[in-house]
Amino acid sequence: MKKMISLILVVMLMLSLAACGKDSKTTDKKNKKLTVGVVQTNANESDWRTANTNSFNKAFDEAGFTIKMVFGEGDHAKQISQAQQLIQEEVDYLVVLGLQSAGWEDVAKAAKEAEIPFIMADRKLDLSEDLYTAMVCSDFEEEGNKAVKWLKEQALDSYKIVVLGGDTGSSAQLGRSKAIEDGAAANGWEIVFNQNMKGWDETLAKQAVADLIAGGTEFNVVYAQNDNMARGACDAMDAAGITYGKNGDVKVIAFDANKWALEKVLAGEFNLDVECNPLHGPRIVKLINQLEAGETVPKNAYVDEEMFDCDTITQAIVDARSY
């Protein structure tokens, strides 16, 4: 009986090995549907992220690629192992949206050895140029600099700034924090509060601002590193009767520019919203098609991004926004 089972197992093993060999031999890149592995952060982190994920799914579907999307769900280490798994599955392209910017060298090297093009999207990772194929990212520091420039133009009597940071160590947080910290140092502004909220969420931002108000900290600018935290901060100011926005005492600056946030800009609740464009799908598809055709692609491409001021925004801009 035991012999029988072991014989069956051996036969099965041989068959499966044979299947492997056959598969890899007949793989013809031109006839096969391209498989693109996407390492996404979280499925539902924010409205921005939802628009981002949908953009990938839609664009890849239209281009006829097979998409293998995995979600890190807030876990940096998980993302790295997921990326390595995708490399072992021999995807044709690897697109990475990293939760943290550090620690991707091994993945990039493994991809290079397996001859899988490594594309960074959304957030720039700490990699030397020879390790990745291309990058389509938002320039977060530039976004922050736009906000700083706008803030300077407001010519307030004094600047007391509350900085609500995003997830510590993400490139969005690092870039946006650096911009305001440098801006404040250069212009002699006072940053009265500067801490990162876990998870870019309303609740923690709201509790932090409520604590600041209760503790008697005075501020006249809220620099929230995404729309959701700006909304949380506004909730806290509402509860304490502090006026904000277009006609209020506190200037509110938000990032990402979701549709609902632009509605708030239009309503004069947020003063400024700096866009962070989530529609990466079509850009990546274009990039992959160019690479397939053997064209050279720009190594470092930044996404064009605008900003929306409550004094200049129009209904048409809000209506045109799809996410």
Partner 1 sequence: MTKNNIKPSTQRGVSVFKTISKHRLFIPIAFLMFLLLLNIFIKPGFLRISLGRDSSGNPVLIGNLVNILNNATELVILAIGMTLVTASSKGQDISVGSTIAIVGGVIMRVLCGNETQPTELKAPIILAFLLGCLAGMVCGAFNGILVAKFKIQPMVATLILFTAGRSIGSMAMGGLKPKAVSSFGYYGNFIPGFPIPTPILITILVVAITYIALKKTNLGLYTRAVGINDRSSRLNGLNPAKIKFMAYVIMGFCVGIAGFVQSSRVQTVNPYTIVPGIEMDVILAVALGGNSLGGGTVNMAGSIIGAYTLQTLTSMLTTLNVNTNAVPVFKAVIIILLVAIQTPAVKNFFSNKAKVSKIISNQGKESA
- Contact between residue 284 and residue 136 where contact means Cβ atoms under 8 Å apart: yes
- Contact between residue 252 and residue 234 where contact means Cβ atoms under 8 Å apart: yes
H helix runs in 93-201, sequence order:
105-113, 140-153, 171-187
Mark residues 200-219: x for contact with partner 1 by CB under 8 A, - for none.
Answer: xxxxx-xxx-xxxxxxxx--
Stretch of 91-99, 153-161, 233-241, 249-257 lying at the interface with partner 1 (CB under 8 A): 233-241
User: Would you give the DSSP letter of residue 33?
Assistant: P
SS3 content of the chain, % helix, strand, coil (to 5): 50, 20, 35
What DSSP assignment string belongs to 57-74?
HHHHHHHT-EEEEEE-TT
Task: Scan residues 25-44 and list those touching partner 1 (CB under 8 A).
Answer: 42-44
Smallest distance, partner 1 to C-beta of residue 246, A: 14
CB nearer partner 1, residue 72 or residue 183: 72
- Convert 33-47 to b/e letters by CB count within 10 Å (16 or more is b): ebbbbbbbbbeebbb
Smallest distance, partner 1 to C-beta of residue 39, A: 16
CB nearer partner 1, residue 154 or residue 195: 195
Q: Would you count residue 239 as binding partner 1 (CB under 8 A)?
A: yes
Q: Would you count residue 195 as binding partner 1 (CB under 8 A)?
A: yes
Q: Would you count residue 220 as binding partner 1 (CB under 8 A)?
A: no
CB nearer partner 1, residue 55 or residue 133: 55
Q: Can you point out the beta strands (E) in the chain?
A: 35-40, 66-71, 93-96, 118-122, 134-137, 160-165, 190-196, 221-224, 251-256, 272-275, 300-302, 307-309
CB nearer partner 1, residue 64 or residue 216: 216
Smallest distance, partner 1 to C-beta of residue 162, A: 10
> Which residue from 22, 109, 149, 198 is in contact with partner 1, where contact means CB under 8 A?
198
Could you give the CA distance from residue 267 to residue 279 in angstroms, rounded to a whole number?
A: 25
Mark residues 246-265: x for contact with partner 1 by CB under 8 A, - for none.
Answer: --------------x-----
Mark residues 136-175: x for contact with partner 1 by CB under 8 A, - for none.
Answer: -----------------------------x--x-------
Q: Would you count residue 79 as binding partner 1 (CB under 8 A)?
A: no
Q: Would you count residue 186 as binding partner 1 (CB under 8 A)?
A: no
- Contact between residue 158 and residue 130 where contact means Cβ atoms under 8 Å apart: no
Could you give the CA distance from residue 21 to residue 184 in angstroms, rounded to a whole number?
A: 61
Our CA angle for 84, 90, 94, nearest 5°, is 60
CB nearer partner 1, residue 111 or residue 236: 236
Q: Which residues bind partner 1 (CB under 8 A)?
A: 42-47, 50, 73-74, 165, 168, 192-196, 198-204, 206-208, 210-217, 228, 231-232, 235, 237-243, 260
